[in-house]
């Protein structure tokens, strides 16, 4: 017998559930493939983040990310989500899809990203998001520039990891890579050389067009930094930025 109250709560809190198998800009580690669309909306996978965009995200969107992460935990509980072996779903890990990012998005944005790096701007991208009953982890990688005999190449390095433990109600920041060189870093990883779209080239292109419609900012916007004290933020949300230490660009 169904529970009308439970169904009402479910409909009100989760009007849209997304199947991760249809998200070509994301890969994931879990045999359970459903996630709240509102949580996914706060995970900017598949695109690069310039300095201003990056700090706008961690300064003002982390509160919303926490809210939607908690809501997704509730979704798992209310829906009775189980793995294939019938154990309850308690965690999931999402990654950026290398084929989409390096073979669809980056080729279109190579010139802008290269110019931004040469001007001293740090360009990051969301590389991993982990959600569990105990914490969430948000990890970023950074794009760097490497010069070779044949020209220049965009590579990437680990950058920063933000961890929020539900029990502590506090963001912890871990700088994974302290190297400052934006050009010719000593430690870096090279992108995958062979794309694998699994026969979904049309879906990859459609997702690319959606992301390219979003505004990009590869430089530092002085107006943003000058307006931090007056920027309007939803007063109904708790402030997570007060828990963060001072950050460098």
Coil, strand or helix: which one is 196? coil
- pLDDT of 238 over the 80 cut: no
Query: Where is pLDDT greater, at 233 or 70?
Result: 70
* Closest to 152 (Cα-Cα) out of 114, 203, 190: 114
Distance of alpha carbon 249 from alpha carbon 243, whole angstroms = 18
Q: What is the pLDDT of residue 236?
A: 33
Cα-Cα-Cα-Cα dihedral sign, residues 171, 177, 182, 188 = negative
**What is the 8-class DSSP label of residue 102?**
I
pTM: 0.83
Tens-digit pLDDT profile for residues 219-235: 776 665 565 543 333 33
Tens-digit pLDDT profile for residues 10-36: 777 777 899 999 999 999 988 889 999
- Give the structural domain span for 28: 4-243
248 domain-assigned? no
Q: How confident is the model at residue 147 (pLDDT cuts 50, 70, 90)?
A: very high
Number of domains in the chain: 1
Interhelix angle 62-79/4-13, rounded to 10 degrees, is 150
**Beta strands 26-29 and 34-36: pairing type?**
unpaired
237 domain-assigned? yes
249 domain-assigned? no
71 domain-assigned? yes
Q: Give the number of other Cβ atoms within 10 Å of residue 217's Cβ.
A: 18
63 domain-assigned? yes
193 domain-assigned? yes
110 domain-assigned? yes
Q: What is the pLDDT of residue 8?
A: 73
Residue 25 main-chain phi, psi, to 5 deg: -90, 5
DSSP E strand stretches across 50-196: 91-96, 123-132, 135-148, 151-165, 170-175
Q: Measured between alpha carbons, how far is residue 134 from residues 59, 117, 163, 164, 166 in Å?
A: 22, 37, 10, 9, 6
Distance of alpha carbon 80 from alpha carbon 204, whole angstroms = 32
């Amino acid at each position: 017998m169904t529970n009308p109250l439970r169904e009402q709560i479910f409909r009100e809190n989760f009007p849209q559930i997304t199947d991760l198998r249809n998200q070509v800009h994301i890969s994931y580690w879990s045999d359970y493939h459903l996630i709240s669309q509102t949580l996914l909306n706060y995970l900017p996978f598949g695109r690069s983040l310039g300095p201003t965009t990056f700090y706008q995200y961690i300064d003002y969107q982390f509160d919303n990310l926490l809210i939607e992460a908690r809501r997704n935990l509730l979704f798992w509980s209310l829906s009775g989500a189980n793995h294939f072996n019938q154990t309850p779903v308690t965690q999931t890990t999402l990654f950026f899809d290398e084929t989409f990012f390096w073979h669809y998005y980056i080729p279109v944005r190579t010139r802008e990203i290269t110019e931004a790096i040469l001007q001293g701007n740090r360009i990051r991208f969301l590389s991993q998001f982990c959600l569990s009953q105990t914490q969430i982890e948000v990890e970023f990688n950074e794009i760097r520039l490497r010069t070779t005999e044949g020209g220049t190449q965009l590579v990437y390095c680990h950058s920063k990891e933000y961890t929020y433990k539900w029990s502590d109600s506090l963001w912890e920041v871990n700088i994974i890579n302290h190297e400052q060189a934006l050009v010719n870093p000593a430690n870096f990883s090279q992108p995958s050389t062979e794309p694998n779209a699994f026969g979904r080239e049309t879906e990859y292109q459609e997702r690319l067009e959606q992301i390219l419609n979003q505004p990009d900012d590869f430089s530092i916007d002085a107006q943003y930094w000058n307006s931090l004290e007056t920027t309007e933020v939803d007063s109904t949300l708790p402030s997570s930025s007060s828990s963060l230490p001072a950050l460098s660009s």
